[in-house]
Amino acid sequence: MTLGLMKKIVNRVITLLLLCLGFFVKFLSIKQRNCFGKLIGDLLRLLSKSRRKITLDNISQAFPNNLPSENQSILKNSYRNLGISLIELLALRYLSDEEVKKYIKYNNLGLLLEKYNEGRGLILMSGHYGNWELLAYSVKTYTDIPVHIIVKPQSNESADKLLNSYRTKGGNSIVSMYKAAFSIVRTLKKAGVIAMLVDQSATKDRDVFVDFFGRPAATYIATAELALSLDCPIIMGFAVRESDCTYRVDLKEIKFDDIKEHKDAVRILTERHVKALEEQIRSIPSLWAWQHKRWKHSPVS
């Protein structure tokens, strides 16, 4: 059996497992899915030794004054958040609009509608925090405004296709981040809405390094460039898990009217949305995916 064939078989098995998990969790309540997701997260933590080391290093450098036990707790609960988010994404296939609205609520949805109605297009930003999948999906549920979600394709093509079918079930569309440039510009010029996650490591040459938890982190400048060039508003939001396992969302506009003519406007705007992300993570660190190699590049001296 060739290596390529073996990989295809493994990918198909993983996809089948995801389908089975989704079918199972559709019968569970919100709180039961949360508990089951924690178990999945614990399993992921135990199985990912190398990634677990990266996670702990990221947390320890971000919170150098924490006790080791505090950082271990953040690590454990960060993995649990991944497990919960996965289980809830798999359940999404079976959720009605009313069930989605029970899962997630917006405190100031009017801000989104106000900016959308200006007719300049709208950029929605978030990070791998809380349940970002439910956040992106639910905008259409609440507003009936279709969202073009920018995603990083998974190496497992069959699983990627399956999960994308869940993400688009309610009327949103998916665009690969590797083929997104033209689609994003076209959508915004037509006064549409795009959603993207802005917390992954960027390139070390084209993009910029900004301070993130006290360390320079390579950060994509595309969002700032788009907003400034098209005069398109930016709204940032995070799905924060509550004690009853549902989510609340507070939306915040990242303003840039005061820097439009500044020669370093792209950097300044990038710093602003990164700062907003960091402030949210610091409020509940365990809801962020610390597993990313967020600081894998160093600035060229």
112-121 confidence digits (pLDDT tens)? 999 999 999 9
How confident is residue 1, by pLDDT bands cut at 50, 70 and 90? Answer: low
pLDDT value at residue 101:
97
Angle in degrees, CA 250, 252, 258, rounded to 5: 170
| Number of Cβ atoms within 10 Å of the Cβ of 117 | 10
- Asked whether residue 34 is domain-assigned, the answer is yes
Mean residue pLDDT of the chain comes to: 94
- Asked whether residue 293 is domain-assigned, the answer is no
pLDDT value at residue 136:
96
- Asked whether residue 299 is domain-assigned, the answer is no
Q: Any idea which of 4-18, 55-69, 79-93, 224-238 has the lowest mean pLDDT?
A: 4-18
Tokens of residue 92, six digits: 């999404």
How confident is residue 203, by pLDDT bands cut at 50, 70 and 90? Answer: confident
User: Contact 80/224 with Cβ under 8 angstroms?
Assistant: no
pLDDT value at residue 182:
86
pLDDT top residue among 144 and 202: 144
Tokens of residue 161, six digits: 């296709």
User: Contact 228/266 with Cβ under 8 angstroms?
Assistant: yes
Averaged pLDDT, 176-200: 91
Q: How many domains does the chain have?
A: 1
pLDDT value at residue 92:
95
Q: Which domain holds residue 219?
A: 3-287
User: Contact 167/144 with Cβ under 8 angstroms?
Assistant: no
**pLDDT at residue 4 greater than cutoff 80:** no
- Asked whether residue 295 is domain-assigned, the answer is no
Q: Any idea which of 185-189, 204-208, 241-245 has the lowest mean pLDDT?
A: 204-208
Instruction: Assign 6 to helix, strand or coil.
Output: helix
Burial (CB count <10 Å: 0-12, 13-18, 19+), residue 14: middle
Q: What is the number of residues in the chain?
A: 301
pLDDT value at residue 274:
97
pLDDT value at residue 153:
87
Averaged pLDDT, 256-280: 96
- Asked whether residue 15 is domain-assigned, the answer is yes
Q: Rounded to an integer, what distance in angstroms lies between the CA atom of residue 111 and that of residue 117? A: 10
pLDDT value at residue 51:
94
Averaged pLDDT, 234-246: 98
pLDDT value at residue 230:
95
User: Contact 109/142 with Cβ under 8 angstroms?
Assistant: yes
User: Contact 86/134 with Cβ under 8 angstroms?
Assistant: no
- Asked whether residue 23 is domain-assigned, the answer is yes
pLDDT in tens, 5-55: 778 888 899 999 999 999 999 999 999 999 999 999 999 999 989 999 999
- Asked whether residue 271 is domain-assigned, the answer is yes
User: Contact 127/274 with Cβ under 8 angstroms?
Assistant: no
Tell me the chain's radius of gyration from C-alpha atoms. Answer: 19
Residue 76 φ then ψ, to 5°? -60, -45
- Asked whether residue 225 is domain-assigned, the answer is yes
User: Contact 122/193 with Cβ under 8 angstroms?
Assistant: yes
pLDDT top residue among 155 and 136: 136
**pLDDT at residue 301 greater than cutoff 80:** no
Percent of the chain clearing pLDDT 90 (strictly above): 86
Percent of the chain clearing pLDDT 70 (strictly above): 98
Q: Rounded to an integer, what distance in angstroms lies between the CA atom of residue 42 and that of residue 28? A: 19
